[in-house]
Structure 1
Amino acid sequence: MIDCLKQENFKFWHQHFPFYGMAALALFMLETAISGPIKPRIIAQGFGLGQWVILIMITISPTFLALEYKNNTIITLFYKNSNKKNIYCAKFLLTFSYGLLLDAGGFIFALGLKSLFVGDKYSWTIIYENTQDLITTLLLNIGGSIVYLLFIIALCFFLFTLIKVNVAVIGIGIALGFLGASFSQLLMDSFPHYQNLLKWNPLNMINIINQLPQVNYAQHSTLENS
């Protein structure tokens, strides 16, 4: 497993897309900061940090797998590794670690944007939407984004192993990533007698990204944070 991680890490960082992803995140967050008036809600969301990281990971996750098939290196990987699970787990852990890196870098960049464009106008200690202070809300938003990454990376890997068409996986991933929670809600509303069972469907877990910082979202997911 360690050898697989080292091998995948070498391949991952010798591609261009990880650096494009970092640059894209910075540009997206900067665009959010300069495109309109900055309110506490924008700051609490880290200038769109969560949604931008998700979009980037939906693009990068299947691309990382697609390169193996494009270059026919997947056959060599299967030949050299008796346990195919190690290949999958190494790619999954590495991709998730990259997502964590984007979140950490985005958090630091959000602090800088807040200082640059807002200054002391909104203190980090002000109470946001009658729940908790601004910095806590931001950290909870990032926490929800991290949990959500586990779902979206697994979804993209799963879809690519099924259809092996990178563009299609990205499109389906974006659709499910941003419409999946609504579809889950529709499903539970359509079959209220089975709600206790349906609330555990994977798409309902998308609500975690909103529910951690805003507990009132529990009425939609019918799940507790824990």
Structure 2
Amino acid sequence: MPPVAPLPFLPDAVIFDMDGLMLDSERAINTCMASAARELGHALPDSLWLKMIGGGDGLCRRLLTEQIGEVAADELLLRSEALYDAVADAGIDHRPGIVELLEWLVARGIPRAVATSTRRPLAMRKLDAAGLLPYFDAVCTSSDVPRPKPAPDVYLLAASTLGVEPGRCLVLEDSPTGVRAALAAGMTPVQVPDMLEPDAAVRALAHRIVPSLADAQRLLEAQLVTG
């Protein structure tokens, strides 16, 4: 991986995606979707679940409807949601480095918000069960905005809630959809890929891509020293 450019500033706020960035939930979601499909007798390719990453409820429903029809898609989603609820309530594993990064930001008084494509009730349950909710000053979800990612709405809401200009916000994202949303909001995204490696089209966005949250923290630490 080529060297990553330093951050252009020490951000006034850091905004976090949730699934796949802070929580190892993309794998859990995919497992529940595949299990529900098998239970209901649908032979669907694993590549379908990867296409859903970062896209929210609307994209998942559309992709499933294209494959198996509207009625069957709704049935599959209901079953997978029931399976996933049990996983979420038990507490989804953290992605490596998330607690260390959050504690570093808290210690320096840098405001923090969540901006997620998940609906509010489930997002709050997941963050609470995983022990991450106390670290955040605001939680913004797809329930709170008219358009999901890749529209910028949820990121703009997070900045407004924190009282920070969008251009002074750093965004941490795992998915290409989220990166596009952050760029559309006029923010500086750093992508930490999880299940989807950035392809040529994503790399052409010319944003920063790092292999881990620890590397994202090092970018911030360097800016604190030089900025």
What is the TM-score when the length of structure 1 is the normalising length?
Answer: 0.28
Question: Which structure features the higher share of helix residues?
Answer: 1
Question: Which structure features the higher share of strand residues?
Answer: 2
Higher relative contact order (CA 8 A, sep 6+): 2
Point out the structure with max Rg over C-alpha.
Answer: 1
